[in-house]
Amino acid sequence: MRVLGNRSGDTGFSRGVRAFILFGVKQAWVSLFGGLMLLALLLTHWFYPADAVLPRYDFLTLLAIAIQCMMLRLGLETWDEVAVILLFHVAGTAMEVFKTAVGSWVYPEASYLHIGGVPLFSGFMYASVGSYIARACRAFDLRFTGHPGLRQTGALTLGIYANFFLHHYWIDCRYVLMLWTAFAFRRCMVYFRIGRTFHRMPMLLSFVLIALFIWFSENLGTFSHAWLYPSQRDGWSMVSIHKLGAWFMLTIMSYVIVTLVKRPVKYVA
């Protein structure tokens, strides 16, 4: 990560410490929706009554709607961002219905609010990724150089989404799609503002870091028994690190959907 446009007289060390703290605070702030949902998964796993009239999954669905309404009412999200989140919810739920049908993972608890074997709260877990990226664009004043065009990123996203389904019946093209991603974003740098200073990093690195965070969050989700992989039915274990590739591709897809309503802004030095 490189610092750009600094004019203060601070030492490099103190400047770096302050920027790191502010970066962490901002990251927590833009992750608010996802953070609250993860907290809800854990708290309901530990404390939600097993004999409650309202199933735990349905409580999580209603809670997610309430959080979304609160964030919109308080101005923490815009209507454009809500539109992005709705797209994520629809796309994520469709994928969930398919993946549970073929046995990729299961939702072990009962619910009233569900489609097939998928409780509706699951779509909000995908939506939380969209919420994070959309809010980060605004909070960090994201700007770019070397960004690929929408035609290329759109085709890449369609390929990624199709592969989530087709690889069960055809060849798995994930590594081809990863190479395509690396080629498309090879020159792309993302610039993010902390205070009055812009910093930059390779866009591909930012995708990897987001994918790592999703993988970590998924471990918390399976630990709370919100959903389980076949290998976890007899006892919880960490989600395989090989899932990181799937979350990397989900990150690409999520980012491109955000760019449909928040077009990338070019960085000008």
Instruction: Evaluate whether 86 touches 77 at the Cβ level (below 8 Å).
Output: no
Residues 96-125: b if buried by 16+ CB within 10 A, e if exposed: beebbeeeebbbeeebeebeeebbbbbbbb
> What pLDDT is attached to residue 9?
52
pLDDT tens per residue across span 46-67: 999 989 999 999 999 999 999 9
Instruction: Evaluate whether 104 touches 218 at the Cβ level (below 8 Å).
Output: no
Is the pLDDT confidence value at 159 over 70? yes
> What pLDDT is attached to residue 136?
93
pLDDT, mean of residues 242-258 = 91
Q: Is 223 exposed, middle or buried (CB count within 10 Å of its CB: 0-12, 13-18, 19+)?
A: middle
Domain range list for the chain? 32-259
pLDDT tens per residue across span 62-121: 999 999 999 999 988 888 888 878 888 888 899 999 999 999 999 999 999 999 889 999
pLDDT tens per residue across span 176-207: 999 999 999 999 999 999 988 899 999 999 99
The token pair at 92 is 């994520």
Q: Which of the 8 DSSP states describes residue 51?
A: T
pTM for this model (two decimals):
0.89
Give residue 4's pLDDT band: very low, low, confident or very high (50, 70, 90). Answer: low
Closest C-alpha to 147, from 65, 100, 206: 206
> What pLDDT is attached to residue 260?
85
Mean pLDDT of the chain: 90
